[in-house]
């Protein structure tokens, strides 16, 4: 089912506005508070024409896999979508379109962090970030090379986890002192036991096949004070994807991450010893809950020397990740600069310590 938002005052297309956090009409300026919208209206169950070739059935679950062709309610154009797309814009009339059947059943997100950085701000921030890259080739910084900048809601799982850690270690304290002609070393041995139970809430992992895991991890942190109960209008005007991996598929990723946290915590509680030798350590991570959430990401495609570079920006905080190409010439110049400076310092020291000059 295709959901589109029409302005109740003037009938124009509405889209989510990251500055006000509302559903906004560009033509008359009307803003609608999404949290106050009645959910049948927000999620398009009301009067919209139903234009795909499937009958609506209780099994939202099964039928969502089968629908692949959607039509724009505005202009009738066929919407070109990837199988994982859940929100897009009509390439003919530009209207924001949400595909509600791909956001239902087990694919219904429970939480969302809405975009708070708009396209113009994202573009400006990216230009500024480019200028800082002193080692990139000349001409790379030109903002005109930005090929596309796309706001995407990326699917994430947020895990609540419990980490149970047990460790036994032998630790030592060493004291040495001199008496007469002898140096004495005294070693005390301690049996150290630790048992900890730690809860971690909402540990995120991206669940999209298309997104590079490392890049997504680096976009963290997301601030959870902006987490909202999911409503479809937040997606209006953006691209959105559904998950390719369920929470069980990705558990091993958060498991190893949180194992590390518990391990570090145990190490931090054992201090004041000269040596620590573990002879037993067991860390067990248990899933308490996993919630499906959508997080905002700006993807920037950048053209340089016939190849494309991709950068990602956290759509909530503006943090940018990605690797610009390095210029060999500039790196050489940079190192020459450094060695010249180092040489200068050595010379000054030589002069200061050389008596005759004073
Ligand atoms: Zn309007
Ligand atoms: Zn259209």
For the CA of 74, the nearest ligand: 2
Distance CA 102, CA 22 (A): 23
Work out the widest C-alpha separation in the chain, in whole angstroms.
Answer: 99
CB neighbour list of residue 127: distance below 8 Å, 6 or more residues apart: 141, 143
CA of 72 to the centre of ligand 1 (A): 19
pLDDT for position 354: 42
In contact, 128 and 30? CB cutoff 8 Å: no
Give residue 30 CA to ligand 1 midpoint distance, Å: 5
How remote is the CA of residue 125 from the centroid of ligand 1, in Å? 30
Which DSSP category does 13 fall into? B
- Coil, strand or helix at 253: helix
92 C-alpha to center of ligand 2: Å? Answer: 5
**Which residue has tokens 């113009």?**
120
Q: Domain boundaries in the chain?
A: 2-108, 159-199+248-290
Instruction: Name the DSSP letter for residue 326.
Output: P
Strand order in the sheet with 22-25: 14-17, 22-25, 31-32
Token couple for 144 = 């005109």
Q: What is the distance in A from the centroid of ligand 2 to the CA of 42?
A: 19
Distance 97 CA to ligand 1 centre (A): 17
What pLDDT is recorded for position 141? 61
Which residues on neighbouring strands pair with residue 298, listed in sequence order? 151, 313
Residue 302 has a pLDDT of 76
CB 163 within 8 A of CB 197: yes
Cα-to-centroid distance, 258 and ligand 1 (Å): 48
Whole-number Å distance, alpha carbon 51 to ligand 2 midpoint, is: 13
pLDDT at 124: 86
Contacts of 88 (CB under 8 A, 6+ apart): 79, 81, 97, 99, 239, 240
Ligand 2 mean position, distance from CA 343 (Å) = 66
The pLDDT value recorded for residue 47 is 40
- What is the rounded distance in angstroms from the CA atom of residue 337 to the CA atom of residue 156? 45
Report how far ligand 1's centroid is from the alpha carbon of 17 (Å): 14
Ligand nearest to the CA of 78: 2
Ligand index nearest the alpha carbon of residue 31: 1
Nearest ligand to the CA of 5 is 1
CA distance 153 to 112: 9
- Read off the pLDDT of residues 211-265 as tens digits, 9 standing for 90 and up: 888 889 999 999 999 999 999 999 999 999 999 999 999 999 999 999 999 999 9
Q: How far is the CA of 153 from the centre of ligand 2 (A)?
A: 21
Tokens representing residue 97 in the block = 């379109």
Could you tell me the CA-to-CA distances from 91 to 72, 79, 81, 97 in Å, in that order?
9, 7, 10, 10
One digit per residue, the tens of pLDDT, for the chain of length 358 reads 899 999 999 999 999 999 999 999 999 999 999 988 877 667 765 444 333 433 444 444 444 455 678 999 989 999 878 889 999 999 899 999 999 999 999 999 999 999 999 999 998 888 787 777 655 666 666 656 677 789 999 999 999 999 999 999 999 999 999 999 999 999 999 999 999 999 999 999 999 988 888 889 999 999 999 999 999 999 999 999 999 999 999 999 999 999 999 999 999 999 999 999 999 999 999 999 999 999 999 998 877 766 777 889 999 999 988 866 655 565 555 555 555 555 555 544 444 444 443 3
In the chain, where do the E strands start and end? Answer: 2-3, 14-17, 22-25, 31-32, 70-71, 78-79, 85-89, 96-99, 111-112, 146-179, 182-206, 228-229, 239-241, 275-304, 307-314, 320-321
> What's the gap in Å between 116 CA and the centre of ligand 1?
22
Q: Classify 62 as helix, strand or coil.
A: helix
CB of 73 within 8 A of CB of 51? yes
């Amino acid at each position: 089912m295709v959901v589109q938002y029409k302005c109740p005052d003037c009938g124009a297309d509405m889209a989510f506005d990251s500055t006000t956090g509302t559903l906004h009409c560009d033509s008359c300026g009307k803003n609608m508070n999404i949290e106050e919208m009645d959910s049948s209206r927000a999620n398009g169950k009301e009067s919209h024409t139903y234009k795909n070739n499937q009958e609506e059935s209780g099994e939202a679950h099964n039928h969502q896999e089968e629908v692949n062709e959607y039509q724009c309610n505005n202009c009738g154009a066929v919407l070109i979508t990837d199988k994982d797309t859940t929100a897009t814009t009509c390439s003919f009339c530009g209207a924001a379109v949400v595909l509600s059947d791909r956001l239902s059943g087990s694919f219904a997100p429970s939480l969302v962090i809405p975009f708070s950085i708009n396209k113009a701000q994202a573009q400006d921030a990216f230009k500024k970030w480019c200028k800082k890259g002193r080692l990139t080739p000349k001409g790379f910084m030109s903002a005109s090379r930005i090929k596309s900048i796309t706001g995407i809601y990326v699917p994430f799982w947020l895990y609540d986890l419990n980490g149970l850690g047990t460790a036994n270690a032998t630790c030592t304290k060493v004291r040495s002192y001199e008496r007469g002609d002898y140096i004495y070393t005294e070693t005390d041995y301690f049996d150290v036991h630790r048992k900890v139970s730690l809860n971690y809430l909402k540990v995120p992992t991206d669940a999209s096949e298309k997104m590079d895991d490392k890049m997504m991890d680096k976009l963290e942190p997301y601030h959870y004070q902006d987490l909202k109960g999911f409503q479809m209008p937040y997606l209006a005007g953006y691209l959105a994807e559904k998950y390719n991996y369920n929470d069980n598929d990705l558990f091993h990723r958060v498991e190893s991450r949180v194992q590390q946290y518990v391990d570090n915590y145990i190490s931090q509680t054992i201090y004041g010893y000269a040596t620590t030798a573990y002879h037993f350590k067991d860390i067990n991570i248990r899933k308490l809950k996993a919630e499906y959430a959508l997080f905002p990401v700006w993807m920037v495609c950048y053209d340089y020397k016939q190849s494309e570079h991709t950068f990602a920006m956290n759509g909530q905080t503006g943090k940018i990740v990605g690797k610009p190409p390095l210029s060999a010439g500039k790196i050489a110049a940079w190192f020459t600069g450094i060695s010249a400076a180092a040489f200068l310092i050595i010379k000054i020291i030589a002069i200061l310590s050389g008596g005759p000059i004073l």
